[in-house]
Amino acid sequence: MSLPLTQPLRSPPLAWALGALALTGLVLSPLVSLGHAALQGSGELWPHLLEYVLPQAVLQTAGLLAGVGLAVTLIGTGAAWLVAAYDFPGRRLLEIGLLLPLAVPTYIVAFAYLDLLHPLGPVQSGLRDLFGIASPRDLRLPELRSLPGCILLLGFVLYPYVYLPTRALFLMQAANLLEAARTLGHSPRAVFARVALPMARPAVALGTSLALMEALNDIGAAEFLGVRTLTVQVYATWINRSDLPGAAQIALVMLLVVIGLVVAERWARRGRGFAGTAQRPRSLTRTRLRGPQAAAAFLLGLAPVALGFLIPAGYLAASAAGRIARAGLPETLPAEIFSTVLYAGAATLIAGAVGFVVAASPRLIARRAGTALIRVASLGYALPGTILAIGLLGPLATADSALAAASTAVFGAAPALIGLGTGGALVTAYLVRFLAVAIGTCEAGLSRVPGSLPDAARMLGRGPVATLARVQLPLTWPALVSGALLVFVDCVKELPATLLLRPLNVETLATHLYGEAARGTYEDGAVAALLIVLVGLIPVAILLRLGSRSPQLR
Amino acid sequence: MNFQAADAGPEPPRLELVGVGRRFGTVQALEGVSLVVRAGEIVALLGDSGCGKSTLLRVVAGLEFADAGAVRLDGRPVDASVPPEARGIGLMFQDYALFPHLTVGENVRFGLSGRSRTEARAIAAGRLEQVGLAKRTESYPATLSGGEGQRVALARALAPGPRILLLDEPFSNLDRRTRDRVRADTFGLLRETGTTTLLVTHDPEEALAFCDRIALMRSGRIVQVGTGEDLYERPNSRFAARFFGDLVEMPARCRRGNLETPFGLLDAGGAPEGANRLACLRPETIRLAEPGHGTPGRVVRRSFLGATVALEIAVDGIAAPFSLAAHPDDPMRPGDPVGLVLRGSPLIFDLARD
């Protein structure tokens, strides 16, 4: 009753190898092309860049990163400790609320506050009415359009990157150690400074580095607020001066900053293994606050939520409602929604499929090669959108001309630029940049499938591909869907690469908003901004759903 | 219920391992493992955790690859170029590895993809009937008890008619009472279907009671292969002897062909004059007698175990007290003197070779 032993049918996984090679090429091509472009030199422009543009941009970027780093660390760890160590009415609400600013992209928070704090905007008008001041010139508020203003705004929307892992760490590991410290005679405040904070260092380092990546990636907020960062200069050098080598050179400097951030993060996590204990974590017993103390704690925790989400989102909702009531929906809105969903959707589908296969390949094909592929394919997440876009221009143009040449040879006529002309370029950029998100969530999902299940499928006569389709895919489906949703949202929010790579005359919600802000016609952008924020709430909901299943949020 | 080996002669070898080795980094997980499993035989791979028995099972399954030696199935070599799905081997996992998103019936049919739909349904129904779970065909694994899960896993592994079935600690996740019943049922079914089986276990009683032959493993090597009687009565090392039960160990030096021990002169089994040997007694070969008979000893502890009492006995010249079973009516108390009479031959080991 035995099955006949089939002959060895192990063909080398050629398709996989070719796919892996292509993906590696795609991810690495921006870097190679940047280096190539930068080496060509921009001749007479380089001395100008070197003398006037770069030093200032590097200084402003360094100032911005230092300031934002300090701000997100203070706000993020403070908020995490507040909700992890103390109990007061409204704490549970705050635990969730503190995540909300994740939904607001940096350029939208700047957009909202610029309008809100405009001399003719509601805040200044209200203050003037209150104090009976007639002329805007007589009421001087600190200027928002400045480096400190930019730091504050970014700090209040980027702190959740620190809050999230730090709070998880406090919840996961704090209990025993912190209680040990208490029994050894330390006050709660001393425990925070001497035990909790040093223990949280890896989480803080991770969160801060992610927040700084976002700050470096930002183009809208910095530009609206008049801060000439490297990102802004790359964009300006390319768009205004059409100087690709110059832009590439600045982009390479940015790349150094990225590497610096990664190294700094590794260094800050050095020598500490905090990856969780074998025991089931027990939550910290919170100190109960009452009366004025409780009220103060609540207000303290509410401040970042209000500044980072409630006020800007509320303001956007109000002005979007006003705009719709007065003039109806903007006429261009359906077209913008369509192109936004089209490009983001296409990238999401591809990233979901590719991400799942990449994440599964260590189990499917070969452990070493698969793991290496995951590393390489996830690199794009560290590349700011501007660097990616500038870096992809060259390879895409080459691909386009190759296609055109092939088409001319076969059909006798060349089509329009396929990559750069149709949005293929934009989808490619989204894919490279956000593939890591899809891979990461699929990997997490796959790692929860016990290894014996795919082994069992193999023992029952199914090949690797059938095993993946019949066992791992159905079991990882929820993770794949949430990963795809995260990619979609990231694509919708993405601004710098979209600005640079969208086809001519195509506007997405994000680029429309950018255009309105550049023109100073804020109200017209409010509807688009509100839509982006609403879409941005999806990942917050996913995080909360994941969080409700385990005490540890991601 | 001790199943005896069928006449092993005429049956052809189903599985042959020749000098199989596997190294993980600096750890030599398997070294020079050679073993033959004949068609219809049930063989146990017995050893402590980490001895390499599970790795050996995975090498046979094709989930892991040997870096030395050869594996042959029905005389044909299977190396890394034969993937697990092409080997026609069944494997039942320690955690059963039932697919949580498929019903019991779909799980059992999973390995029947080559058959027609009706044929697959008929085979699966038959297997589920055999393990007494026909009624649970539409249930999902999460709703099964541990014993039921084990039986579904068995039905699933048997459904494709594997040329050899590998069992990886199949009973270790069950509580003791369920285990005894499920174990007897499982081996009954394997005998009934004549399934060639290689079982990984750390439980010597399981191996003794249910398997035709036992391969005892230690640190990646097979130290002894044989029937249960071979290993229990003629262990080739102190390790093998200790694995199957308590030993009363008495180091001694050979004088004129004998070892001088607290139990008197024992035959040294041909050891040279002056050689150091370890004479070992199984506790069940020592009989309790009135004081003054045989070797004098003293009760140091009495533990009531229900059906028996365990008496711990100290004997001058033997390093550690040893435990003997007695009837609960036995009146002996700590401090009482006893006599000890030997009624079997000792096991003699050369520690220099162990």
Q: Where are the domains of chain B?
A: 13-242, 246-353
Chain B nearest-CA distance from A2, in A, is 5
| B85·A463 Cβ contact <8 A | yes
pLDDT band for position A553 (cuts 50, 70, 90):
very low
Q: Tens of pLDDT along A124-181?
A: 778 878 777 777 666 667 778 889 999 999 999 999 999 988 888 887 765 667 777 7
Q: What is the mean pLDDT of chain A?
A: 84
How open is the CA angle A313-A317-A319, to the nearest 5 degrees? Answer: 115
What pLDDT was estimated at residue A106?
92
Point out the residue among A8, A452, A470 whose CB comes nearest to the CB of B95: A452
The contacts of residue B7 (CB under 8 Å, 6+ apart) are none
pLDDT at A3 over 50: no
Long-range contacts of the stretch B78-83 (C-beta < 8 A, 24+) = B78/A5, B81/A8, B81/A10, B82/A5, B82/A8, B82/A10, B83/A8, B83/A9, B83/A10, B83/A458, B83/A463, B83/A464
Query: Half-sphere exposure of residue A432, counting CA atoms within 13 Å on the CB side?
Result: 28
Question: Is the distance from CB of B249 to CB of B255 less than 8 angstroms?
Answer: no
pLDDT band for position A8 (cuts 50, 70, 90):
very low
Q: Which CATH architecture has domain B246-353?
A: Beta Barrel (2.40)
Give B212 or A403, the one with higher predicted confidence: B212
Point out the residue among B81, B111, B113 whose CB comes nearest to the CB of A8: B81
DSSP state of B294: B
Could you tell me the strand order of the sheet in which B309-314 lies?
Answer: B286-289, B337-342, B295-304, B309-314, B322-326
What pLDDT was estimated at residue A418?
61
Mean pLDDT of A424-450: 90
Q: Phi and psi of A128, rounded to 5°?
A: -60, -45
Nearest residue in B to A9, CA atom:
B82
Query: Half-sphere exposure of residue B27, counting CA atoms within 13 Å on the CB side?
Result: 8
What pLDDT was estimated at residue A61?
94
pLDDT band for position A41 (cuts 50, 70, 90):
low
Residues of B at the A interface, defined by Cβ within 8 angstroms:
61-63, 73-74, 76, 78, 81-91, 93-95, 97, 99-101, 110-111, 113-114, 156-157, 160-163
pLDDT at A271 over 60: no
Which residues of chain A neighbour B95 with C-beta distances below 8 Å?
A: 450, 452
Q: Domain B13-242 belongs to what topology?
A: Rossmann fold (3.40.50)
Which residues of chain A neighbour B114 with C-beta distances below 8 Å?
A: 3, 461
Question: Is the distance from CB of A161 to CB of A76 less than 8 angstroms?
Answer: yes
pLDDT at A414 over 90: no
Which residues of chain B neighbour A1 with C-beta distances below 8 Å?
A: 161
Which residues of chain B neighbour A459 with C-beta distances below 8 Å?
A: 61, 63, 84-85, 89-91, 111, 157
Size of interface A-B (CB pairs under 8 A): 93
pLDDT at A237 over 90: no
Q: Does A458 touch chain B (CB under 8 A)?
A: yes
What pLDDT was estimated at residue A410?
77
Question: Is the distance from CB of A418 to CB of A424 less than 8 angstroms?
Answer: yes
pLDDT at A46 over 80: no
Point out the residue among B73, B91, B110 whose CB comes nearest to the CB of A5: B73
Pairwise CA distance, residues A496 & B347, whole Å:
82
| A456·B91 Cβ contact <8 A | yes
Chain A nearest-CA distance from B210, in A, is 23
What pLDDT was estimated at residue B68?
92
CB burial string B190-199: b at 16+ within 10 A, e below: beebebbbbb
Could you tell me the strand order of the sheet in which B68-73 lies?
Answer: B27-38, B13-24, B68-73, B76-77
| B160·A460 Cβ contact <8 A | yes
Q: Tens of pLDDT along A69-78?
A: 999 999 999 9
A287 beta partners: A86
What pLDDT was estimated at residue A411?
74
Chain B nearest-CA distance from A41, in A, is 49
What pLDDT was estimated at residue A4?
34
| A5·B114 Cβ contact <8 A | no
What pLDDT was estimated at residue A136?
67
DSSP state of B3: P
Nearest residue in B to A1, CA atom:
B161
Pairwise CA distance, residues A384 & A378, whole Å:
13
Task: Output the CA–CA distances (angstroms, integers) from residue A170 to A80, A160, A200, A266, A274, in the order listed.
Answer: 8, 15, 7, 20, 11
Q: Tens of pLDDT along A172-220?
A: 765 667 777 777 777 777 777 787 788 788 888 888 988 999 999 998 8
Provide, rounded to the nearest whole percent, the portion of chain A with pLDDT above 70: 89
Nearest residue in B to A472, CA atom:
B99
CB contact residues (below 8 A), chain A span 8-37, against chain B: 8-10
Which of A11-20, A459-468, B194-203 has maximum average pLDDT? B194-203
Task: Output the CA–CA distances (angstroms, integers) from residue A44 to A47, A97, A392, A547, in the order listed.
Answer: 6, 52, 24, 55
| B156·A2 Cβ contact <8 A | no
Q: Where are the alpha helices (DSSP H) in A185-290?
A: 188-191, 197-199, 201-217, 220-224, 230-239, 244-268
Q: Does A478 touch chain B (CB under 8 A)?
A: no
Q: Does A461 touch chain B (CB under 8 A)?
A: yes
Q: How many angstroms from the chain centroid is the CA of residue B229?
A: 12
Chain A nearest-CA distance from B75, in A, is 11
| A10·B87 Cβ contact <8 A | no
Task: Output the CA–CA distances (angstroms, integers) from residue B238 to A70, A115, A191, A489, in the order listed.
Answer: 66, 86, 56, 66
Chain B nearest-CA distance from A402, in A, is 40
pLDDT band for position A7 (cuts 50, 70, 90):
very low
What pLDDT was estimated at residue A552?
37
Q: Tens of pLDDT along A344-375?
A: 999 999 999 999 999 988 877 777 888 888 98
Chain B nearest-CA distance from A488, in A, is 27
pLDDT band for position A420 (cuts 50, 70, 90):
low
Chain A nearest-CA distance from B111, in A, is 4
Lookup: tokens for B277: 């040997």
Classify residue B93 as left (phi > 0), alpha (psi -120 to 50) or beta: beta
What pLDDT was estimated at residue A272?
54
Provide, rounded to the nearest whole percent, the portion of chain A with pLDDT above 90: 32
Task: Output the CA–CA distances (angstroms, integers) from residue A388 to A40, A70, A234, in the order listed.
Answer: 18, 27, 11
Chain B nearest-CA distance from A452, in A, is 5
Pairwise CA distance, residues B150 & B146, whole Å:
6
| B101·A460 Cβ contact <8 A | no
Nearest residue in A to B194, CA atom:
A1
How open is the CA angle A354-A355-A357, to the nearest 5 degrees? Answer: 65
- Mean pLDDT of residues grouped by 10 in chain B (354 residues)? 49 93 92 95 94 93 91 92 90 93 94 91 94 93 92 94 94 88 93 94 94 95 94 93 92 88 85 88 90 91 91 91 90 90 88 72
How open is the CA angle A554-A163-A93, to the nearest 5 degrees? Answer: 90
Which residues of chain A neighbour B163 with C-beta distances below 8 Å?
A: 2-3, 5
Pairwise CA distance, residues B75 & B69, whole Å:
14
